[in-house]
Amino acid sequence: MIHARGLARTFAGRGKGAEKVEVKAVAGVDIDVDEGEIVGFLGPNGAGKTTTLRMLTTLLTPTAGTATVAGYDVVTESQKVRRSIGYVSQSGSTSPEARAGEEIVDHGMLYGISKAQATARGRELFEQLDLDGLWTREPKAMSGGQRRRLDIAMGLVHDPTLVFLDEPTTGLDPQARANLWTHISDLRSRRGATIFLTTHYLDEADALCDRILVIDHGTIVASDTPDALKRQVSGDLVELVLADASRSGEAATVLSRVADDDLTVSGATVSARVRGAGHEVAGLIRSLDAAGIALESLEVRRPTLDDVFLTLTGRSLREDA
């Protein structure tokens, strides 16, 4: 569905004073997305996610490289690309004072479908996206979650086979986010749509995506399934909190026997990366017990995509997010 090779975009910017500098927003990325996949595009703010998305959706012309989307070239066949894709941008898609139903019908008609068809399609989408009864509601009187679902309906009115979602859940409360995730997975299960979404939320990429592309400083630094990416991080994080901080040295020695990486001691807390922690933890507790080291608590955490990002780039996603 998407094949990009060396796709790049530089902007003319300004350095100190009047000197002109070129800002490389996207420094040449290769992207392949197959039909029916849900692919997440993960990276901190300013990593080049939105710029890449805008190139793939024909809103921005690449300065180098090529891309075909839904079988058409984004530069020379942009009209055909636009017809085949749906795009849900992060800034919304409707006027706050317009009526939801009218916006969706007009939007459908701009795609060349008839008014009757656009109305039928809009009604159907409102039903699927839990927007029943909001046809004449003004977006300014909707909740954040309803507005996002309306944006998604706008992006689907012409029945695209490929849908781009730019930060679909930014600014929503946890309940509305979880609800939206269900709707996004439904897009594929009900309609067989291919979905390409950007996010800087790790749990979102984790919950939704078959595959994740990690972008940083305008280049793709990893592309794999969430689980495979997490396996790159050497093991689960085992964190011991001791009843007596003075025993932390001994505890570290015990933990180091099973640890793979990142052994750290801080006060009464001793932690390390342990491969297959579920298997190792029983023996660990026995050894600690035998040495007479009392535990306040023990926690095993599976690596998160934040850990993946840290491993890949040497910095945390959250710093920039």
Residues near other proteins (CB under 8 A): 54, 57-61, 79, 82-83, 85, 87, 89, 91-98, 102, 106-107, 109-112, 151, 154
Q: How far apart are CA 37 and CA 223, in angstroms?
A: 13
Question: Does residue 320 contact residue 45 with C-beta atoms inside 8 Å?
Answer: yes
Task: Tell me how crowded residue 112 is: count the other CB atoms within 10 A of its CB.
Answer: 10
CB of 126 vs other proteins, minimal distance in Å? 17
CB of 86 vs other proteins, minimal distance in Å? 8
**Complex with other proteins: residue 55 or 237, whichever CB lies closer:** 55
Q: How far apart are CA 114 and CA 95, in angstroms?
A: 22
CB of 58 vs other proteins, minimal distance in Å? 7
**Complex with other proteins: residue 57 or 271, whichever CB lies closer:** 57
Q: How far apart are CA 41 and CA 4, in angstroms?
A: 14
Q: How many CA atoms lie within 13 A of 163 on its CB side?
A: 28
CB of 125 vs other proteins, minimal distance in Å? 15
Query: Using the 8-state DSSP alphabet, how is residue 112 labeled?
Result: T
Q: How many CA atoms lie within 13 A of 63 on its CB side?
A: 13
**Complex with other proteins: residue 102 or 260, whichever CB lies closer:** 102
CB of 163 vs other proteins, minimal distance in Å? 12
**Complex with other proteins: residue 85 or 258, whichever CB lies closer:** 85
Pairing of strands 85-88, 194-199: unpaired
Q: How far apart are CA 165 and CA 167, in angstroms?
A: 6
**Complex with other proteins: residue 72 or 126, whichever CB lies closer:** 72
**Tokens linked to 161:** 């086979």
CB of 92 vs other proteins, minimal distance in Å? 4
Task: Tell me how crowded residue 241 is: count the other CB atoms within 10 A of its CB.
Answer: 17
**Complex with other proteins: residue 61 or 264, whichever CB lies closer:** 61
**Complex with other proteins: residue 108 or 235, whichever CB lies closer:** 108
Q: How far apart are CA 34 and CA 70, in angstroms?
A: 10
CB of 122 vs other proteins, minimal distance in Å? 14
CB of 191 vs other proteins, minimal distance in Å? 19
State the alpha helices, DSSP H only, in the chain: 49-56, 78-84, 100-110, 115-128, 144-156, 174-191, 202-208, 226-232, 248-256, 277-290, 305-313, 317-320
**Complex with other proteins: residue 97 or 319, whichever CB lies closer:** 97
Q: How far apart are CA 100 and CA 150, in angstroms?
A: 7
Between the alpha carbon of residue 46 and those of residues 51, 52, 102, 308, the distances in Å are: 9, 11, 35, 19
